[in-house]
Amino acid sequence: MGKLAGILSLAQTRAKEFQLSYEGALTPREAFEVWQLAPGARLVDVRTRAELDFVGRIPGAVEIEWHSYPGNALNSHFLTQLGREVDRESLVMFICRSGHRSHRAAAAATEAGYPDCYNVLEGFEGDRDAHGQRGRLGGWRLASLPWSQS
């Protein structure tokens, strides 16, 4: 079994274990490796424009808000925007701040007919620590994966 197949198999095992409705769940490092190894794989960042502008961006990620800022309203055009940006047959990984919105986005995309959806666990910033701070307990940024401050 090759490296890509091994990572995806582990992610799919997690999905079965947690009874997820989509294909799998990846750690940030695994997601980055998949993005590098799988031709045509797409990383979809579902954070708000404010989060992208003030917290940081992932170079090359497709940016589609799950909730709109301000007001935190659900983006009713999410699936339409996804359809314009991502081929339905692509391996699609979703990321947000902590992995919760991206979980919902992966489930919605799967339900809409995208067969190969994955959630990035921990998200960009990870969970809050004992002091309520993010960025110290997991996440894309803490893993020192590519990102930029705009």
Pairing assessment for the beta strands 24-26 and 117-120 based on DSSP bridges: parallel
pLDDT of residue 122: 95
Residue-range domains of the chain with CATH:
3-120 (3.40.250.10)
What's the token pair of residue 5? 């197949």
pLDDT of residue 71: 84
What's the token pair of residue 36? 């590098």
Burial class (CB in 10 A: 0-12, 13-18, 19+), 65: buried
CA distance 87 to 95: 17
List, for residues 15-57, the tens digit of each pLDDT value. Answer: 999 999 999 999 999 999 999 999 999 999 999 999 999 999 9
List, for residues 118-146, the tens digit of each pLDDT value. Answer: 999 999 998 777 776 777 778 999 899 99
pLDDT of residue 42: 98
